[in-house]
Chains A and B, each alone.
Chain A
Amino acid sequence: MKRITTAALSVVLLAAATAGCTNDGGGSTPSGSTNVPGVTDTEIVVGTHMPLTGPAAGGYSKIAPATKAYFDYVNANGGVHGRKITYKIKDDGYNPANTQTVVRELVLQDKVFAILNGLGTPTHTGVLDFLKTNRVPDLFVASGSRSWNQADKYPGTFGFNPDYTVEGKILGTYIKENLAGKKTCFLGQDDDFGRDSLEGVQKILGPVAAKESYVTSNPNVGPQMGALKAAGCEVVVLATVPGFTALSIGTAAKIAFKPQFVVSNVGADPTTVGKTLGAAAPLMEGLVAANYLPLNTDEANPWIQLFKKVNAEHNGNAEFDNNIVYGMSVGYLFVQALQSAGKDLTREKITEAVQKNGFQGPGLVPLRFSAQDHSGYAGEQLTKVENGKAVYFGTPYTTDDGDGPVTAYQGQAVTPPQSGVPTA
């Protein structure tokens, strides 16, 4: 009898366990009169996937909490059209398999209205089809891959960062105008980030003298820096994440290799890189990079004043770096989109509102959104590290990811509204 009892017991236990799982969900929000997932008369639920732990968490784990802090600030000021924003943050550890699970959990169980600012090229690529078939708006993806800009194939997906090719063209233009005749080389991540960036650089400069790549799973760039030194490079463009920017600069210094580093905005936040370098942080002096949002150290900037206030009130006064500026800028843009979509919020209306564009926010250059173009910011301005702080110089540039020219942008930056919350 024992065997049968065992079998029967196990089946019952399994059923009970699974049934238990069904009941403990409890995340589904009752829909209001509009019957839109995640939207009631008093609440809008949105979700995101971020690496809060794991190899990519350094710096990036501060983004989603900063966005949430901005939403808390908006909620404390009455919300959007009377609705409070709830932001559900799920940790995927930068692992695509986890991303699949947590995004399904957000969409199918927590019934979120939209996915906002999901981070990472490999992670987010895997959920594009799932979000499309479920008609979930996939707003402002946190990565500069050109994959987000496929309006025909993925009508609900929109980018935020400038494309890595756009950035590469702008960094290339800087080198062409200021470091002409110097031997230029390239070190990039072995994925879309590095490849797209290199393509942009070479569109402007032609073939680089030497190119190397690295993978995040192998934290040693000794061979690469050695090869670049041997090739006699005078300028090295880095398409690296913060940890590897620090590693590259440190390794170069160790082998007495002192080129001019020109770094992608993704890996150039001086606070994050400086912390990794520790006592060697002064090596960053003179580093050229690009950005498209106000800089965390620019105390006079009204956006920074606003974000610092929000950070103090709603983010536990976390160390104020450019990741926080980024996260709050995303939050600001989303609130703008919600305002523009109107009181009767639906998924179609928010997509239309984003395509209509016309948002003016912290960004130095305009966003490019239209029915055909779903890529994010149109360009960047260059920064240089002076006395441990990045400062802007010159004017912002805009360009496209094709063969379009790189042109100086003359438009003026706007100031935030008095309340800190955008209006319709």
Chain B
Amino acid sequence: MTAIEARPETGAKALPEAKRRRRVHPVIVIAAAAVLVVVLTYVLPPFRNYQLATVGAYFCVTAGLTVLTGLNGQLSLGHGALMATGAYTLALTQNKWENLPVSFAAAVLVTTLLGAIIGLAAARLRGPYLAGLTLAVAIVVPSVTSTFDETFNSDQGLSVYLNPPPEQYPMEQWQAWLCWSAALVVVLLLALLVRGRFGRDLRAVRDDETAAKLAGINIARTQVLAFVVSAACAGVSGALFAYLAQSVSPGAFPLTLSLFLVMAIVIGGLGSLFGALWGALLLVVLPTLSQSLGEQAGSQRLEGNLALIVFGVVLVVVMLAAPGGLASIPSRISRLIRRNR
């Protein structure tokens, strides 16, 4: 997870060779994170375990999105729709065959295919045009569910048939394990992928397309691949959400979800997988926080809208205080200390 540099740190001050060699290998970080998650699932009470599971589910999509937006510079406002694709595929296959691994595989496959289609179109588009295209995808989802209402059951959505977990494990613990297994696998693959040649290509295309082209990088292919990879991650995330909510409906994947995802990776720290983790955490914590704030203020009406305000305030504060996002704070602190020494 440490493999990716945040954008502001790249550029003029390249890392010294010595530092590069001392990087912790992603496998070690992931293994440590796995141990931490297992410990947490035994320590935390059930509701916190459920929230932990939700963080894991969000982590999949924010990690994929940060690779696309932070490392490759493509802005997507349609990742909520890709999550919906994964979720609906899981629901449909699960209700038909009742085999969770198969359903998960199908969800990832279908979302990846859709990602490839959008990615092919996206490779020809830049900046606001790409944002517009992905925005359209996000808006189309509810219409699809109501147009083909016999399959997707319109606004009411589908319920997902699930077998209960083995007797000896509480449901919430089981959910946390499943979500985090998926999240850690996704993040490990991403970390391995972006630390090699592919990662360099991504950054090169983001920073200067002409230079990248001169260096022999196939721009379109890199962009399409980046979109496909992040779509697959969104598919995993959507499938996990369908599993967690035991139901799928267009209301669970509104446009605001797509916007929240972009906001979360920006607050967390664009282009860093740690930033994606912070983003995922915020997506769970901030709405809860704003709800309890609303309750304490005695207002029952504001809660839903309060979450938006809190998100906005956090965004402004973080961008002012730490332009690199939350993930850049530790290195900023250490730089400050070094400068004062």
A residues near B (Cβ < 8 Å) are 1-7, 9-11, 14-15, 17-18, 21-22, 25, 52-54, 61, 64-65, 89-91, 93-97, 100-101, 104-105, 108-109, 121-122, 125-126, 129-130, 133, 189-192, 213, 215-218
Contact = CB atoms under 8 A, between A and B. Distances in A.
Contact of B155 (A6, A65, A216): A216
Contacts of B159: 125-126
Contacts of B341: none
Contacts of A189: 155
Interface stretch (B187-195, B226-234, B301-309, B310-318): B301-309
Interface stretch (B49-57, B64-72, B114-122, B198-206): B49-57
A21 B155 contact: no
B322 to A, nearest CB: 13
A268 to B, nearest CB: 21
Given A53-B304, A122-B251, A126-B159, A22 B45 contact: yes
Nearest to B29: A7
B180 interface: no
A144 to B, nearest CB: 14
A7 to B, nearest CB: 6
Contacts of B291: 90-91
Given A96-B251, A126-B159, A108 B46 contact: yes
Contacts of B50: 101, 104, 108
Contact of A52 (B23, B142, B300): B300
B149 interface: yes
Interface string B250-288: 111010000000000000000000100100010001000
Interface in B10-69: 19, 22-24, 29, 32-33, 36, 40, 43-48, 50-52, 54
A191 B252 CA distance: 16
Given A22-B44, A52-B303, A192-B156, A126 B23 contact: no
Contacts of A11: 32-33, 36
Contacts, number: 151
A54 to B, nearest CB: 6
Prevailing SS type, chain A contact patch: helix
Contacts of A61: 300-301
A64 B300 CA distance: 10
A52 B303 CA distance: 8
Nearest to B46: A108
B334 interface: yes
Interface string B158-200: 0100101000000110000000000000000000000000000
Contact of A190 (B155, B252, B305): B155
A365 to B, nearest CB: 28
Nearest to A56: B251
B205 to A, nearest CB: 25
Given A53-B305, A97-B252, A108 B47 contact: yes
8 contacts: A3-B22, A6-B334, A18-B44, A21-B51, A52-B300, A97-B241, A125-B159, A190-B156
B89 interface: no
Contacts of A121: 156
B315 to A, nearest CB: 18
B154 A18 contact: no
B264 to A, nearest CB: 15
B95 interface: no
Contacts of B303: 52-53, 91
Interface string B99-111: 0000000000000
B340 interface: no
A191 B245 contact: no
B24 A3 contact: yes
A101 B304 CA distance: 14
Report the 10 A-B pairs with minimum CB-CB distance, sorted nearest first: A53-B304, A191-B156, A108-B47, A126-B247, A190-B154, A97-B252, A109-B47, A215-B146, A108-B46, A9-B330
A2 B331 contact: yes
A65 B300 contact: yes
B157 interface: yes
A239 to B, nearest CB: 13
A231 B334 CA distance: 74
A126 B54 contact: no
B142 A96 contact: no
Contacts of B334: 2, 5-6
A91 B156 contact: no
B2 interface: yes
Contacts of A129: 162, 246
B330 A6 contact: yes
Given A10-B274, A21-B285, A133-B164, A217 B142 contact: yes
Contacts of B241: 97
B85 interface: no
B82 interface: no
A18 B48 contact: yes
A109 B171 CA distance: 15
Contacts of B251: 94-97, 122, 217
Nearest to A94: B251
B222 interface: no
A21 B55 CA distance: 13
Contacts of B330: 5-6, 9-10
Nearest to B36: A11
Given A3-B2, A96-B249, A109 B45 contact: yes
B97 to A, nearest CB: 19
Given A52-B303, A97-B252, A190-B149, A6 B154 contact: no
Given A18-B52, A190-B149, A217-B155, A104 B47 contact: yes
Contacts of A17: 281, 285
A1 B301 CA distance: 49
Contacts of A191: 153-156
Given A122-B247, A122-B249, A191-B153, 17 more contacts: A2-B334, A4-B22, A4-B24, A7-B2, A7-B24, A22-B48, A53-B302, A53-B305, A61-B301, A90-B291, A91-B304, A94-B251, A100-B244, A108-B172, A109-B45, A190-B155, A217-B250
Contacts of A5: 330, 334
A157 to B, nearest CB: 14
A3 B246 contact: no
A9 B46 CA distance: 26
